[in-house]
Amino acid sequence: MYSQGLIGSGSENEESEAFLARFQARIDAEEKIEPNDAMPLAYRKTLIRQIGQHAHSEIVGMLPEGNWITRAPTLRRKMALLAKVQDEGGHGLYLYSAAETLGVSREEMTEELLSGRAKYSSIFNYPTPTWADIGMIGWLVDGAAIMNQVPLCRCSFGPYARAMVRVCREESFHQRQGYEIVMTLAEGTDEQKEMAQDSLNRWWWPALMMFGPHDADSSNSDQSMLWKIKRFTNDELRQKFVDATVPQAEKIGLKIPDPDLKWNPEKNDGAGGYDFGALDWDEFWRVVKGGGPMNRDRIAARKAAWENGRWVREAALAHAAKREERAATAKVAAE
């Protein structure tokens, strides 16, 4: 509702020094920026890109788990998984609507995803060949998402922050149901335990990559911190995630697949934390740029959903138009 006709027509398109300083002062004072407020074009563009990518990640994120809904081992697991996947669809919709307040349309965002111009989280380009992967996604992938999303609840852009509050409220169930699946397997037969360990071996490193490149290599990071879109750097969040997750693995007798993992009492200003091994950034960039094992499948699935839903969208619009027309004729007849 906010943005119709706003883009490019704002009275403050002149980005003078004084305008930028005034904007930064509002940010520094922890004021929230709302959609109709004057904002630098770069701030708007950064948010459109980030919220769009975030929304796409939620939507594409339904696919690896959706793969197991019909094969969940019990009714309890199936109900939980269905509810979780539905939540992820909801997260995508909250986020698309937050991005739309900045003047981008849903159709444009969808088009960008389908054409491959928009990115989404690299993690969803890995396959889910075993049931343990569903547990691992909930535990690690939702766990990493929570680390990322909790600080976003304080993001300077109001609609994004509000969407994140809703999302975060729903995420903790996702992580807990995942951990429960992994825990059950880890306490099961040798084969089940092995399945859980194998899944952890495959997902650990991609989960760490979810936080994005190292701070030194992250081009947008400084500006986003200055604008209080981000509150922590990629490396800070990654460290928090490792420190929180390693004890959870130990608790259920699984081994983190990192020979360099070591407790370091000096870390985190003396509070202690884990040193961990180097990430394979070549793999990260390959997967982000479309070379992961499942990139093609994911986009093909989204395209099919869009194409197969076309007649429904068109029929619904035609029906709405017809009803409106009939209502108008009836009104005239009654006068």
Partner 1 sequence: MATHLTPLWEVFIRSRNGLNHKHVGSLHAADGDLALQSARDVYTRREEGNSIWVVRSEQILASDPDKAAETFEPAADKVYRHPSFYDIPDDVGHM
Q: Kindly list the residues in this chain that would bind Fe ion in the complex (CB under 5 A).
A: 58, 88, 91, 142, 171, 174
Stretch near partner 1 under the rule CB under 8 A, chosen from 120-128, 156-164, 204-212, 218-226: 156-164
Q: How far is CA 270 from the centre of its chain?
A: 32
With CB cut-offs between 5 and 8 Å by kind, which of partner 1, Fe ion, none does residue 317 bind? partner 1
Q: Which stretch binds partner 1 (CB under 8 A): 125-133, 192-200, 227-235, 313-321?
A: 313-321
Amino acid at 71: R
Residue 7 is a binding residue for partner 1 (CB under 8 A): no
DSSP state, residue 227: T
Contact call for residues 257 and 197 (beta carbons, < 8 A): no
Q: Which residue from 177, 182, 187 is spatially nearest to 198, judged by alpha carbons?
A: 182
Q: Which is closer to partner 1, CB of 304 or CB of 320?
A: 320
Residue 66 found at the interface with partner 1 (CB under 8 A) = no
Single out the residue of 58, 65, 87, 171 in contact with partner 1 (rule: CB under 8 A).
87
Distance of alpha carbon 175 from alpha carbon 137, whole angstroms: 8
* 9 is a contact residue toward partner 1 (CB under 8 A): no
Instruction: Check binding of 180 to partner 1 (CB under 8 A).
Output: no
Instruction: Please give the sequence-ordered ranges of beta strands (E in DSSP) within the chain, or none if there are none.
Output: 262-264, 273-275
What residues contact 41, with CB distance under 8 A and at least 6 apart?
A: 13, 15
C-alpha span between 104 and 272 (Å, rounded): 44
Which of partner 1, Fe ion, none does 142 bind, CB closer than 5 to 8 A by kind? Fe ion
Cβ neighbours around 24 below 10 Å, total: 15
Question: Applying CB under 8 A, which residues contact partner 1?
Answer: 1-2, 4, 11-12, 34, 36-38, 83, 86-87, 90, 93-94, 97-98, 100-101, 105-107, 159, 162-163, 166, 170, 313-314, 316-317, 319-320, 323
